[in-house]
């Protein structure tokens, strides 16, 4: 299971940035290093263009003053000593670049990847959320078209340059049409996923009905790399996220519900991360966006 790292500025306007681990623990730390190294290079140099004036500002100084890096670690090895050593290593290595570096371990009953990491952060900081929170995987460069999109967005948030209407935005580039081909084929992916997605939706939201993937009720970007305003997170009570963490992370319920009877966990679902794959398409709904999420370039036209 991967790692989750989070950036959270402590002064208004502030931002939180997060990373979820790679698809296996052995690769998770390496990918986090790759991402943070890339970010470090981008953050160290930066200029702002304001009209006809070129304003020079040290972005590194702004990040060090306003952004805390929070790493929600899911591949830390066993034993207190191993984890403490890893935490100290990360704090020492990245401390010079941020206001503070914090490491917190998240353990799952079964594989929950970004679901348990993101939910754990929200629960931990619900009463003291930054103005903006950015959630990322450790392998973010594989999903985001350009890291400049990430660093520019974080910088704009901590300097108050974001439009006031932005409550939620995806950073990933892969927009998924879940109803693709369902008007022509009975075996389309949306129809195949319908029973499991419907169960997950009802369990997470406490609903009696669920939107249909095959009918095109839900569309979104994949891979859960996004930014959220704290007002959107607080649209739902803390208990909602606590219920979500129990469903995905601290119990095996999300796996049990994939099987029609009994309390069965299938090996294919664990290796395929089935609950997490299905949950990719509900995060925007958690935070108050339309079920059929518009593409980024259409959202504020």
Write the CB contacts of 25 (distance below 8 Å, at least 6 apart in sequence). Answer: 1, 2, 74, 75
- DSSP at 128: G
Tell me the pLDDT tens digit for each residue of 25-70. Answer: 544 445 555 555 555 554 444 444 444 444 456 778 888 888 888 8
- DSSP at 295: P
Tell me the pLDDT tens digit for each residue of 104-126. Answer: 999 999 889 899 999 999 999 99
Confidence (pLDDT) at 11: 39
C-beta of residue 295 within 8 angstroms of C-beta of residue 175:
yes
- Say how far apart CA 217 and CA 260 lie, in whole Å: 24
Tokens of 196: 């499991």
3-state secondary structure of 2: coil
* Neighbour tally for 235: CB within 10 Å: 11
pTM, rounded to two decimals? 0.84
Tell me the pLDDT tens digit for each residue of 164-192. Answer: 888 999 998 889 998 889 888 888 988 98
Residue 241 has pLDDT above 60, yes or no: yes
Backbone φ, ψ for residue 288 (5° rounding): 85, 10
- Say how far apart CA 276 and CA 270 lie, in whole Å: 10
CA distances from 156 to 202, 268, 280, 287, 300 (A): 36, 42, 26, 21, 17
- Provide the percentage of residues in the chain whose pLDDT is more than 90: 38
Residue 206 has pLDDT above 80, yes or no: yes
Backbone φ, ψ for residue 2 (5° rounding): -85, -170
Residues 28, 30, 32, 38: is their CA dihedral positive or negative? negative
Tokens of 155: 């910088």
Instruction: Pick the closest to residue 240 from 143, 119, 116, 79 (CA basis).
Output: 119
């Amino acid at each position: 299971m991967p790692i989750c790292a989070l950036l959270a500025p402590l002064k208004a306007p502030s931002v939180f940035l997060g990373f979820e681990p790679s698809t296996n623990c052995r690769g998770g730390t390496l990918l986090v290093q790759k991402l943070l190294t890339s970010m470090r290079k981008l953050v160290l140099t930066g200029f702002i263009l304001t009209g006809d004036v070129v304003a020079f500002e040290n972005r590194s100084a702004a990040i060090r003053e306003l952004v805390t890096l929070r790493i929600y670690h899911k591949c830390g090895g066993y034993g207190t000593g191993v984890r403490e050593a890893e935490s100290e290593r990360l704090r020492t290595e990245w401390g010079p670049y941020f206001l503070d570096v914090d490491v917190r371990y998240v353990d799952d009953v079964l594989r929950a990847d970004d679901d348990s990491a993101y939910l754990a952060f929200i629960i931990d900081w619900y009463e003291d959320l930054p103005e903006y929170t950015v959630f990322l995987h450790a392998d973010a460069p594989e999903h985001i078209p350009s890291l400049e999109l990430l660093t520019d967005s974080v910088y704009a948030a901590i300097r108050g340059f974001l439009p006031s209407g932005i409550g939620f935005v995806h950073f990933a580039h892969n927009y998924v049409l879940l109803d693709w081909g369902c008007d022509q084929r009975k075996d389309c992916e949306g129809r195949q996923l319908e029973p499991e997605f419907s169960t997950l939706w009802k369990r997470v939201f406490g609903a009696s009905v669920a939107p249909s993937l095959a009918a095109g009720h839900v569309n979104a970007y994949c891979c859960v790399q996004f930014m959220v305003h704290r007002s959107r997170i607080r649209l739902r009570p803390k208990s909602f996220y606590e219920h979500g963490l129990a469903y995905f992370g601290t119990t095996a319920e999300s796996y049990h519900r994939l099987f029609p009877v009994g309390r069965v966990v299938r090996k294919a679902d664990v290796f395929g991360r089935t609950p997490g794959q299905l949950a990719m398409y509900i995060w925007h709904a958690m935070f108050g966006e339309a079920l059929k999420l518009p593409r980024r370039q259409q959202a504020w036209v």
